[in-house]
Chain A
Amino acid sequence: MTADTPFIKLDRVSLTYQSRDSSTHALDETDMTISTGEFIAVVGPSGCGKSSLLKLVSGLHPATSGNVVVAGQKVTGPLKISGMAFQNATLLPWRTTLDNVLLPLQIVEPHASRFRKHRDQYEAMAMELLKLVGLDGFETKYPWELSGGMQQRSSLCRALIHEPQMLLLDEPFGALDAFTREELWGVLQKLWMTRKPTVILVTHDLREAVYLSDTVYVMSARPGRIISKTNVALPRPRTLRDTFKPEFIEMAQNLRLQISEGMGV
């Protein structure tokens, strides 16, 4: 697959959640094209269907109408080529950091059936990732012995251990303090530049979106639609210093205005 063929393509995708006495129109006729290895961010007001987008792409929830195509195939169920991380690190408290990172390998094939025999090899893979996020030396610690930022680093490692082609992040740094959050931007950027997965990052933080992504999509209030697409042409690797530059600030401010317009203000 070349960089030109889209890795993820949404074609007039709508999503309506039906419950017994109400229906919520979460996404409306959304089109999106994401190339292989691209890092995109989706921003928008609360409840605009950003998280629904991730459920559609991962195959956890079917679209009500329209087509979702990932890696050349129409999505009809869980893809097994995606890694996910959320605001809540959801690590298992009875497993050490290392064992938490290894969890996906015990589930996804072909690793699951080879896991017992090749455990050493898989542990080496996990250690390499932990080192990349600065957690070497903490692999025998339990999640409850780690700080919030460290838990989130472990969660990112768990999302990447099976070398997924696609990384889906739902406000992964939303619960962290500002300093830790900005530190983890650097960590995530490094992970992405090393592994080059296609990333969809859902966030409320516009500076985060600009810092990390190649393209920022702005969604309108519910029902969610894509109302703008901004290319972030800043050179990589980006640093915290870059976030104080005028072009960075201007981009974040523009996004902010677009969100207000999308809310009908």
Chain B
Amino acid sequence: MKYWIRRTVSIWATVLCIVLWQLMCVVLSIEPFILPSPILVYHSLVQYHEPIMIHAMQTLFTTLVGFAIAVAFGLLLGLAIGVERAVYDGLYPMMIAFNSIPKVAIVPLLVIWFGIGTVPAILTAFLISFFPIVVNVATGLATIEPELQDVLRSLGARKRQIVMRVGIPRSMPYFFASLKVAITLAFIGSVVSESIASNAGIGYLMIAASARFDVALVFAGFVVISVMGVIMYEVTAYAERKFTFWATRANDIVT
């Protein structure tokens, strides 16, 4: 019984929040264009399910393409930075500087270069999500135990061998952990770009809905993005458990 409650506690907490929200709307009789009740949001989801579906697919598409580019690019750059001190020294300050720029500010620039729509959304998703991947992969590589390096170097191991046999496998838990952060950031990037310059995607849908004071539809957009975010997070978490079970299992034993 206790186990069953623990497994489903996230569902109960969500249900509780929705119930409180509904109660608050009813008891305080809040206007639907200020804060629509969950039931109104549900009606909106049902009523507009077709356009919502089309826009959701667009957002999912730009997010996943941007995320895929971020994974490939982040992995390669992280490896380069983690392996070669000179690359780290050369690029790290620039990367931090770049990461401090709010990506909202980049979208108009991307529109000038690539026009509105799909391309800026993909690029924004990519630009916002590659940084944690780079940092994590580089950290995994940079923290190889010195004793282990001694064992391998005393055998005449070259740097490339140490990286291949130890560095890369060792950085995989860091890599998969960063994917969980990166995928949710990628959604944010896509939606931000869509709400600034696009005529497709959940971001666009929400901006259009708020222009008509259809706040229930705006909330429906929140729900759709959140659900997609949670599903993609679970997918990356599953990949993490599957490929780096040795890292999480090791922790289980410690705790």
User: A residues bordering B, Cβ < 8 Å?
Assistant: 55, 58-60, 78-80, 82-86, 88, 90, 92-94, 103-104, 106-109, 142, 144-145, 158-159, 162, 168, 170
Contacts and interface: CB of A to CB of B under 8 A. Distances in A.
Contact of A106 (B165, B246, B247): B165
B154 interface: yes
Given A93-B246, A144-B246, A84 B150 contact: yes
B92 to A, nearest CB: 21
B161 interface: yes
B231 interface: no
Contacts of A92: 148, 166, 169-170
Given A93-B250, A94-B246, A142-B246, A58 B154 contact: yes
The winner among B145, B151, B152, B161 for most chain A CB atoms within 10 A is B151
A107 B157 contact: yes
Interface in B130-183: 145, 147-148, 150-157, 161, 165-166, 169-170, 172
Contact of A107 (B156, B172, B246, B253): B156
B155 A107 contact: yes
The winner among A58, A84, A158, A168 for most chain B CB atoms within 10 A is A84
Interface in B236-255: 244, 246-247, 249-250, 253
25 contacts: A58-B154, A59-B154, A60-B150, A60-B153, A78-B156, A80-B154, A82-B154, A83-B154, A84-B150, A85-B151, A86-B151, A92-B166, A92-B169, A92-B170, A93-B250, A94-B169, A94-B246, A94-B247, A104-B151, A107-B155, A142-B249, A144-B246, A144-B253, A159-B151, A168-B154
Contacts of A58: 150, 154
A88 B145 contact: yes
A60 B253 contact: no
B153 A88 contact: no
A60 B165 contact: no
A144 B249 contact: yes
A58 B155 CA distance: 9
A42 to B, nearest CB: 17
Nearest to B250: A144
B175 to A, nearest CB: 13
B14 to A, nearest CB: 35
Interface of B: 145, 147-148, 150-157, 161, 165-166, 169-170, 172, 244, 246-247, 249-250, 253
B163 to A, nearest CB: 12
A205 B253 CA distance: 30
Nearest to B157: A107
B150 to A, nearest CB: 6
A83 B152 CA distance: 9
Contacts of B154: 58-60, 78-80, 82-84, 168
Nearest to A88: B147
A108 B148 contact: no
B249 A78 contact: no
8 tightest Cβ-Cβ pairs between the two chains A and B: A144-B250, A80-B156, A90-B148, A86-B147, A108-B155, A94-B246, A58-B154, A107-B157
A85 B150 CA distance: 10
Contacts of B253: 144-145
A192 B149 CA distance: 24
A146 to B, nearest CB: 10
Contacts of B148: 90, 92
A83 B156 CA distance: 11
A85 B169 CA distance: 21
Contacts of B172: 94
Contacts of B169: 92, 94
A238 B156 CA distance: 35
